[in-house]
Amino acid sequence: MKAPWKKSISRVVFLFTALALSAGITAAADAPATQRNAALPRIVVLATGGTIAGQTDARSEIGYNSAQLSPKQLILAARGIDTIAQISTEQIASIGSQDMTETVWFALANRIRALFERNEADGVVITHGTDTMEETAFFLDRMLAPGKPVVLVGAMRPATANSADGPANLYAAVEVAASQSARGRGALVVLNGTIHGARDVQKTHTTALETFHSPNYGPIGYVDPSSVRFGVPANTPSSARPYSLKLTAPLPRVDIIYAHAQMDSAMIEDAVKRGARGIVLAGVGDGNCSKAAIEALQRASAQGLVVVRASRVGSGYVNRNVEIDDDKLGFVAALDLNPQKARILAQLLIASGVTAPAAVQRAFGEI
Ligand code: GLU
């Protein structure tokens, strides 16, 4: 039987853990995951869960549960990783990335900023499910100054699968985060030997190892166990980032509405009724939709909502004033941003007080 004081302490710990878990945050720094070798770059691995930390389940041949293993266990599985960096780990959340939230995004952004400001890390690696990895990468890319490397990594197969891809991907991500040549490029995504920039990268296949592509420009670099190579120079910092880290969750509501044949105005009208501050159209082709939907979007824009035309197609640019008169209707063209990234940028802009179509368009135009 526990002493009464021990009972109340465990109650407090339980309560704290329950509160933190309900917010999607599990927090707390671990002891160093690898032996300290002061000559090596200091890399902090922030774990959020995902398939990379997944374990097989008996429910079917391919069934598994994500977010089961600790980041230390992931590090131990990546043989030789201690020869390229001094690694410490922190568990920020334990979720499949379909459950990713703004609360976790802000926790990541604030933790990374603190690590770099106090010079406690030379680079950060975030382990993350692949489903929403491009959204987290884009959010962090907008929120952090593009200095020391921030690298997101995941896996398409759980840690217990035959030929799990997590250990090699994690090794590669640490290599990139430890590399001087990765500095000044904003948030990066590393999987399957390729390095992608946050703006262009997108998940393109439900199960293949080669799922991440940068459909408009291609990967910005390649990584193998002996080299990190970039094919393009580092971006010059954009004036519009970082967005103020004083912003907090919840961000303003922005809904994505998917266009299709026989589209009516119902979903758009519902979004306005539910209090959306912005609407992103996942349009057909060049960000287009039916006349009824365009008229509803025009009404939304006239009421002050930010209306962004993106495309469901998966690559290419949505250009202004082609089939649709954006100037007249008060719309913004998403250019090369896919709907899920356009949503995040619209949220950050609205939260920063930027809602006039011309100003929103300028922010979308910045790379
Ligand atoms: N739903 C999982 C997730 O995004 C599966 C995808 C993955 O992790 O690779 O966390």
Is 51 annotated as catalytic?
yes
**Which of the two residues, 313 and 234, has the higher pLDDT score?**
313
- C-alpha count within 13 angstroms, C-beta hemisphere, residue 257: 28
pLDDT surpassing 80 at residue 22: no
Helix (H/G/I), strand (E/B), else coil: 262: coil
Helix (H/G/I), strand (E/B), else coil: 247: coil
Pocket test of ligand 1: the residue of 52, 57, 66, 153 to mutate, having most ligand atoms within 8 Å of its CB, is 66
Is 154's C-beta closer than 6 angstroms to any atom of ligand 1?
Answer: yes
Segment 90-113 shows an average pLDDT of 96
Least confident residue range of 31-45, 99-113, 142-156, 162-176: 31-45
Segment 148-163 shows an average pLDDT of 94
Is 96's C-beta closer than 6 angstroms to any atom of ligand 1?
Answer: yes
Is 50's C-beta closer than 6 angstroms to any atom of ligand 1?
Answer: yes
164: Cβ–Cβ under 8 A, 6 or more apart, which residues?
77, 155, 157, 158
As a whole number of angstroms, the distance between CA 364 and CA 326 comes to 14
pLDDT surpassing 70 at residue 193: yes
With contact defined as beta carbons under 8 Å apart, do 311 and 277 qualify? no
Signed CA dihedral, 66, 67, 70, 76: sign only: positive
> For position 328, what pLDDT does the model report?
97
Angle, helices 266-273 vs 291-302, to 10°: value is 20
> For position 237, what pLDDT does the model report?
54
pLDDT surpassing 80 at residue 27: no
**pLDDT confidence bin for 2, thresholds 50/70/90:** very low
State the closest ligand 1 atom to the C-alpha of 67, by its place in the atom list counted from 1. Answer: 10
Is 66's C-beta closer than 6 angstroms to any atom of ligand 1?
Answer: yes
- C-alpha count within 13 angstroms, C-beta hemisphere, residue 314: 7
Least confident residue range of 22-36, 250-264, 344-358: 22-36
With b for 16 or more beta-carbon neighbours within 10 A and e for fewer, the 50-86 pattern comes to bbbbbebeeeeeeebebbbbebbebbebbeebbebbb
Closest Cα to residue 129, out of 109, 104, 154, 105? Answer: 154
> For position 67, what pLDDT does the model report?
73
Q: What is the pTM of this model?
A: 0.89
> For position 366, what pLDDT does the model report?
61
Kindly give the distance from the C-alpha atom of residue 252 to the centroid of ligand 1, in angstroms, as a whole number.
Answer: 26
Taking CA atoms only, the protein residue closest to ligand 1 atom 1 is: 96
Q: Percent of the chain, pLDDT > 90? A: 77
> For position 246, what pLDDT does the model report?
81
> For position 239, what pLDDT does the model report?
54
> For position 10, what pLDDT does the model report?
39
> For position 176, what pLDDT does the model report?
98
State the average pLDDT for the chain. Answer: 89
